[in-house]
Chains A and B, each alone.
Chain A
Amino acid sequence: MTTPTRTRPTVTSGIGDSPLRPDGVPKLKGEFQYAQDLWSEGMLWGATTRSPHARARIVSIDIGPALATGGVHAVLTADDVPGPGMFGLEHPDQPVLASDEINYWGEPVAIVAAEDPDTARRAAAAVVVEYEALPPLTDPEEADRADSVFRRLQIRSGDQEVTGEVVVEGYYEVGTQDQAPLGTEAGLAVPDGSGGVDLYATSQFVHADQSQVVEALGLRPEQVRSHPTGVGGAFGAREDVNLHIHLVMLALHTGQPVKMVYQRSESFTGHVHRHPARMWYRHHATRDGKLVRVEAKILLDGGAYASTTSAVLANACYFAVGPYRVDSVLVEGIGVKTNNPPCGAMRGFGAVQSNFGYESQMDRLAAELGMDPLELRRRNALATGDRNPTTQQVIQTPLPVAECIDSLAAIPLPDGDDPILPGGSGLTTDRSHIVRGVGYSVGIKNLGFSEGSDDYAEARVRLTDEGAVVETAAIEVGQGLVTVLAQMARTALGISKAIVRHVDTSRIGSAGSTSASRQTQISGGAVMEASRRLRERILAHHGGDELDDLGVHRAGELIAPMSELIREGWEETYTFRHPPTTPPDDDGHGDIHADFAIAAHRAVVDVDPELGLVRVVRVDTAQDVGRVLNPVSVQGQIEGGIMQGVGLAVMEELVIQDGVIRNPNFTDYLLPTILDAPDVEMLLIEQGSWWGPFGAKGVGEPPTISSTAAVAAAIRNAIGRDLNRVPVRPEDIAL
């Protein structure tokens, strides 16, 4: 490991430090305003009428009884939607309110505004909708055969005829995971009295919310301002629009502020989920463990509407081989359209699913060859300067695959019993029945947006009497962006006082989405560059050679004090773009991605094979982080990300039957508790990034990508049997 470089050591709380969170005190005192907490005098409460069918035709809607409920101010249906009435993050294919057909269970049909939340919910239930139920399409393989698809992607590299001396095949499945952020969807829309609206709602991407509201309702862009607001976790669930357009419609219709908060059960249908996957794999290798060819077919169920299925499928396919060298590749990817709940982004999107496939295959191949599983991975490890086997793009960024594997292997394995038994507080397990297993997985994912999308972020840095103020629309979801952007401004400017201020869509350009591990690199790039330019302009203007908290100096002498600089009103706005990418050609090749990150995980599990219970004892990791800008935030991202990977491995699954979610609550959708949390030992590999600010890479997603497959591998190792599906359920182990 190398230590982070500090350009000007005089700055405190700059790059490489771990300053306390600036939003810590309000969050600790209960004073921080989450979207749930917003309040406006005279506001109404919104509620949504949703379809009880996964597929149906709407025969009639009678809003009379709902409208007659005392305290109800509005009941709106598709007939009341001004403008085209369609939205979607990548394709506007989803109706704001269903007009004649229902395509998934829980699809919104009507919205209500009333004087209190209970009345609003009662009125929403009083909307009489007559449906003609139709048989839903819920089998993704049937959807593939019927060509009901959002996207097909084929990747062909190298000689398609070669075969290996050793061939292993497998079929794998990943269940539907939910982001389950602890705060549900919530928001407030406030009419401005002249036909416009200020929207404050849970989000990862306010500019995309704003443009979808404007386009769906046929408004002028200046009529809608979307404001960043307090978010109780996201993990992908807040990238798509849900209650946003409804709130704006109700506020414009009633002329009053309208607030809406989804209950947990509604939240499970109100946001998109992680795509469930079916994957067929064939790996060819030489006897001494060199990969010769990888064939994969990956089927993702996108559910009823497009959301980000195209990007998720792309990731699953481009990373279908993993961080390994192989000359011959054939990947067939299909993102199907069904009547299941819509799926979209969740932490590690696409890369999580295929990681479970290719890493299960690597273990199977290692067993077939009688080789140590880490040794097989080491022999095939991809490195900087190689071509990515799928896209054929030359990898320019530092790619420490072998280093991650070696570092992980060097972390000592635990000896001795874990104090917590499988089964947790149920304590049904007898210690003598426990068997221990160890499993590995190595993952790769792109950072930022790919396939030729114009990925950029704007940020502004101003000198004020509060210090340097960073203005941005990049959303803080808990990851610590407000901390790290201020650190960057401090270091790049040379000033110790810096804060981050969120501003609405009318006051700054887009920062893009808080997703794809991109904000530290891309909004960070904008902040660093704006700060650097501001510093240079100030120094040039005053003819100085140093800027610090006191002001501008020349040859050690203060020539313009900070108070003067503040009076001069300095500011700099910068739009940062990562190196351009290209769309794929017919073989799936091109400069598809801007940057990559690697993580390796080793899981240790205790299993009671008779009861099918698992305790994940520890998950150790080595992760390629570029440069550590804030050690404590990086650690927090890694521990939290691993926990979500463990959740997918052993407990988190939305049970969907005939298109209906059977467990939309925290009693039946199991989330890891503090007793399920494994110990984590981590090594951070710092080799920089080829363009990230201060050498940073995104760190949020890699912890979630390969931790799931490592846990599954450890369970296999403990019970000595094959497991081809996550989450691993007790009956998969015990029967």
Chain B
Amino acid sequence: MTVNGQPVSAEVEPRTLLVHFLREDLRLTGTHVGCETGYCGACTVHVDGEPVKSCTMFAVQADGANVTTIEGIASNGDLHPVQEGFWERHGLQCGYCTPGMIMSSVALLSKNDRPSEEEIRHGIEGNLCRCTGYHNIVQAVQFAAARMRGEEPPAADWEGGE
């Protein structure tokens, strides 16, 4: 398979999950494990451009696929607009959910460059965050959507009155 643009090949046991292959064989530990049961979304990666919870897929199922992890989202060291949005809009606290949130958000924005607040919420409803209360995560995605359209991001709500 290709991971973040690099071809990788390895012998793995059939029962090795994609998330464990990424974390332990490739040492790409930015993909997190929160639940192992497909519920929290911390392990979200892209497989051929589609968001996938990598704890629900065997590594061998991704044979030949194009996999992108959080480590492959920034380009040449520059933050992706979604990463920038999470930073600028305080969309992270402990940050454990953040890679998965970013992967789901990037996938959402690739299909819908002008999502409404409701579409954002439905687009990332499979990702749990225990710290933020989600409000700033919505603002982070709105920030990124505007940036990616080449527009000025909306003011943060704590900058109210501007």
Mark A residues whose CB is within 8 Å of B: 18, 20-21, 23-25, 27-34, 36-37, 39, 180-184, 231-235, 261, 263-264, 419-420, 425, 477-480, 631-633, 635-636, 638-644, 665-667, 671, 673-675, 677, 679-680
Chain B residues, Cβ within 8 Å of A680: 133, 135
Q: B74 contacts A29, CB within 8 Å?
A: yes
Q: A636 contacts B93, CB within 8 Å?
A: yes
**Which 5 pairs between the two chains have the least Cβ-Cβ distance?**
A30-B30, A478-B94, A232-B96, A639-B133, A27-B95
Q: How far is the CA of A480 from the CA of B128 in the complex (A)?
A: 20
Q: A425 contacts B87, CB within 8 Å?
A: no
Quick one: given A21-B87, A480-B93, are A675 and B133 in contact (CB under 8 Å)? no
B42 interface neighbour in A182, A231, A638, Cβ under 8 Å? A182
User: Min CB distance, B108 to chain A, in Å?
Assistant: 12
Please report the number of residue pairs spanning A and B whose Cβ atoms sit closer than 8 angstroms.
Answer: 171
Would you call B145 an interface residue if the criterion is a C-beta within 8 Å of the partner chain's C-beta atoms? no
User: Min CB distance, B3 to chain A, in Å?
Assistant: 13
Chain B residues, Cβ within 8 Å of A234: 94
B32 interface neighbour in A36, A235, A632, A671, Cβ under 8 Å? A36
Would you call B67 an interface residue if the criterion is a C-beta within 8 Å of the partner chain's C-beta atoms? no
Q: B138 contacts A31, CB within 8 Å?
A: no
B90 interface neighbour in A33, A182, A633, Cβ under 8 Å? A633
Quick one: given A29-B70, A640-B93, A643-B133, are A666 and B138 in contact (CB under 8 Å)? no
Q: A667 contacts B39, CB within 8 Å?
A: yes
Quick one: given A263-B36, A673-B128, are A183 and B96 in contact (CB under 8 Å)? yes
B128 interface neighbour in A24, A478, A666, Cβ under 8 Å? A666
Would you call B109 an interface residue if the criterion is a C-beta within 8 Å of the partner chain's C-beta atoms? no
Q: B96 contacts A28, CB within 8 Å?
A: no
Most A-side CB within 10 Å, residue of B96, B97, B134, B138:
B96
Q: A636 contacts B87, CB within 8 Å?
A: no
Q: How far is the CA of A36 from the CA of B125 in the complex (A)?
A: 25
Chain A residues, Cβ within 8 Å of B136: 635-636, 639
Query: Who on chain B is nearest to A682 by CB?
Result: B158
Chain B residues, Cβ within 8 Å of A666: 34-35, 37, 39-40, 128
A182 interface neighbour in B86, B96, B118, Cβ under 8 Å? B96
Say what secondary structure dominates the interface of chain B: loop
Q: B71 contacts A29, CB within 8 Å?
A: yes
Chain B residues, Cβ within 8 Å of A235: 130
User: Min CB distance, B25 to chain A, in Å?
Assistant: 11
Would you call B132 an interface residue if the criterion is a C-beta within 8 Å of the partner chain's C-beta atoms? yes
State which residues 9-55 of B face A: CB under 8 Å.
23, 27-37, 39-40, 42
Q: How far is the CA of A232 from the CA of B95 in the complex (A)?
A: 7
Would you call B59 an interface residue if the criterion is a C-beta within 8 Å of the partner chain's C-beta atoms? no
Q: A478 contacts B30, CB within 8 Å?
A: no
Query: Who on chain A is nearest to B42 by CB?
Result: A182
Q: How far is the CA of A665 from the CA of B37 in the complex (A)?
A: 8
Q: How far is the CA of A562 from the CA of B96 in the complex (A)?
A: 38
Q: How far is the CA of A235 from the CA of B30 in the complex (A)?
A: 22
Q: B95 contacts A643, CB within 8 Å?
A: no
Chain A residues, Cβ within 8 Å of B29: 30, 33-34, 36-37, 39
Query: Who on chain B is nearest to A419 by CB?
Result: B118
A264 interface neighbour in B37, B127, B129, Cβ under 8 Å? B37
Given A29-B30, A182-B128, A477-B94, 5 more pairs with CB closer than 8 A:
A20-B87, A28-B83, A30-B69, A37-B29, A232-B96
Q: List 15 A-B contacts (CB under 8 A).
A: A18-B158, A21-B87, A25-B79, A28-B86, A31-B71, A34-B29, A37-B29, A181-B96, A181-B130, A183-B96, A479-B93, A642-B133, A666-B40, A671-B128, A675-B122
Q: A632 contacts B33, CB within 8 Å?
A: no
Q: How far is the CA of A673 from the CA of B132 in the complex (A)?
A: 11
Q: How far is the CA of A677 from the CA of B133 in the complex (A)?
A: 6
Q: A24 contacts B87, CB within 8 Å?
A: yes
Q: B94 contacts A231, CB within 8 Å?
A: yes
Chain B residues, Cβ within 8 Å of A36: 29, 32-33
Mark B residues whose CB is within 8 Å of A: 23, 27-37, 39-40, 42, 69-71, 73-74, 79, 83, 86-88, 90, 92-99, 102, 118, 121-122, 124-125, 127-138, 156, 158
Chain B residues, Cβ within 8 Å of A34: 29, 32, 96
Quick one: given A182-B97, A478-B93, are A674 and B124 in contact (CB under 8 Å)? yes
Q: How far is the CA of A182 from the CA of B127 in the complex (A)?
A: 11
Chain B residues, Cβ within 8 Å of A679: 135
Chain A residues, Cβ within 8 Å of B98: 27-28
Quick one: given A665-B35, A674-B137, are A182 and B79 in contact (CB under 8 Å)? no
Q: B96 contacts A233, CB within 8 Å?
A: yes
User: Min CB distance, B157 to chain A, in Å?
Assistant: 9
Chain B residues, Cβ within 8 Å of A642: 133
Chain A residues, Cβ within 8 Å of B94: 181-183, 231-234, 477-478
Quick one: given A419-B118, A639-B136, are A182 and B34 in contact (CB under 8 Å)? yes
Chain A residues, Cβ within 8 Å of B32: 34, 36, 182-183, 232
Chain B residues, Cβ within 8 Å of A184: 33-34
Q: A27 contacts B74, CB within 8 Å?
A: no
Query: Who on chain B is nearest to A264 by CB?
Result: B35
Query: Who on chain A is nearest to B77 by CB?
Result: A29
Chain B residues, Cβ within 8 Å of A30: 28-31, 69-71, 99
Chain A residues, Cβ within 8 Å of B86: 24, 28
Most A-side CB within 10 Å, residue of B23, B94, B99, B134:
B94
Q: A182 contacts B31, CB within 8 Å?
A: no
Chain B residues, Cβ within 8 Å of A644: 130
Chain B residues, Cβ within 8 Å of A665: 35, 37, 39
Quick one: given A674-B124, A674-B137, are A32 and B95 in contact (CB under 8 Å)? yes
Chain A residues, Cβ within 8 Å of B138: 674
Q: A182 contacts B39, CB within 8 Å?
A: no
Chain A residues, Cβ within 8 Å of B102: 28
Chain B residues, Cβ within 8 Å of A673: 125, 128
Q: A632 contacts B90, CB within 8 Å?
A: yes
Q: How far is the CA of A692 from the CA of B154 in the complex (A)?
A: 35
Chain A residues, Cβ within 8 Å of B34: 182-184, 232, 264, 666
User: Min CB distance, A20 to chain B, in Å?
Assistant: 6
Q: B133 contacts A667, CB within 8 Å?
A: no
Q: A674 contacts B40, CB within 8 Å?
A: no
Chain A residues, Cβ within 8 Å of B125: 425, 673-675
Q: How far is the CA of A679 from the CA of B121 in the complex (A)?
A: 13
Q: B135 contacts A677, CB within 8 Å?
A: yes
Query: Who on chain B is nearest to A680 by CB?
Result: B135
User: Min CB distance, A416 to chain B, in Å?
Assistant: 15
Quick one: given A183-B96, A633-B90, A636-B90, are A264 and B118 in contact (CB under 8 Å)? no
Q: How far is the CA of A639 from the CA of B130 in the complex (A)?
A: 11
Q: A28 contacts B158, CB within 8 Å?
A: no
Q: How far is the CA of A419 from the CA of B138 in the complex (A)?
A: 15
Q: B87 contacts A182, CB within 8 Å?
A: no
User: Min CB distance, B156 to chain A, in Å?
Assistant: 8
Query: Who on chain A is nearest to B27 by CB?
Result: A39
Chain B residues, Cβ within 8 Å of A39: 27, 29
Q: How far is the CA of A480 from the CA of B90 in the complex (A)?
A: 10
A180 interface neighbour in B130, B156, B158, Cβ under 8 Å? B130
Quick one: given A28-B83, A673-B125, are A182 and B40 in contact (CB under 8 Å)? yes
Query: Who on chain B is nearest to A676 by CB?
Result: B134
Q: How far is the CA of A568 from the CA of B32 in the complex (A)?
A: 44
Q: How far is the CA of A671 from the CA of B124 in the complex (A)?
A: 15
Q: B92 contacts A21, CB within 8 Å?
A: yes
Most B-side CB within 10 Å, residue of A21, A28, A477:
A28
Query: Who on chain B is nearest to A233 by CB?
Result: B94
Query: Who on chain A is nearest to B69 by CB?
Result: A30
Q: How far is the CA of A227 from the CA of B37 in the complex (A)?
A: 31
User: Min CB distance, A473 to chain B, in Å?
Assistant: 18
Query: Who on chain A is nearest to B38 by CB?
Result: A667
User: Min CB distance, B161 to chain A, in Å?
Assistant: 13
